[in-house]
Structure 1
């Protein structure tokens, strides 16, 4: 389960959790039906689907990208099917078949819960994580308010960090 309580709570979360929150909140705000994180040679490329079109989002920093699959596994309820005894005909000699992990991630926003279907392609370092979202539009205004509060907190934090120290007379 992933829970958004306040912007202060979100700032206290680890970076990968914070990034996942922002992705989900952005998708909810815009009414997306799907969120995907595609792993490539260049890192993770996040997309969300809105009105049958994919829109690319800002990629995470490399350290966060490394932690995302494990973070999603921690906050989701997943079923990992047993790997069938299959012979891999194409690929490296040690190649093996890895079935998708599937389940759901429960997201709580302002006391309301939303279940996102989660699919994880476990192949490393590539693969994809997909979140199917139903009813995002019902959470649009709450997600927008949460993102606005978070942006204000980040701006205030940035201002306090970059403010010059006052010198004593």
Structure 2
């Protein structure tokens, strides 16, 4: 009798822990989806997309673009000097590798000349309110899809 009581108590505790685990797992899944970590965006195409990042500083403005065409990518940096009004740009070209929601960019050419240290970016593909973002994993910069940006402003 004593063994039956202990076995029943043990079984009930296991069952309650399983329910607690399921509830905690559900809460964590919802939180991850809100932050964009656990989104399933494998079917979202980034082919022929242009992503934009704009940073405004007191003395200059930086505009950066990532243009993806198939496995090839172009990374453009533009610097606008506020004092002189001059603009300068760097055009890098390279390739991308995509694994689920992670996109790795490696640009090893600067204006079609090989450079010794490639520019590399690791980006997380996220989607919030029908807007596609790329979040730089290292700097937390948010690159917005140009189509989403221009569609919003119209």
Greater Cα radius of gyration, structure 1 or 2? 2
After TM superposition, is the score higher than 0.5?
no
Higher relative contact order (CA 8 A, sep 6+): 1
State the TM-score, normalized to the length of structure 2: 0.28
Could you say which structure has the higher helix fraction?
A: 1
State the TM-score, normalized to the length of structure 1: 0.26
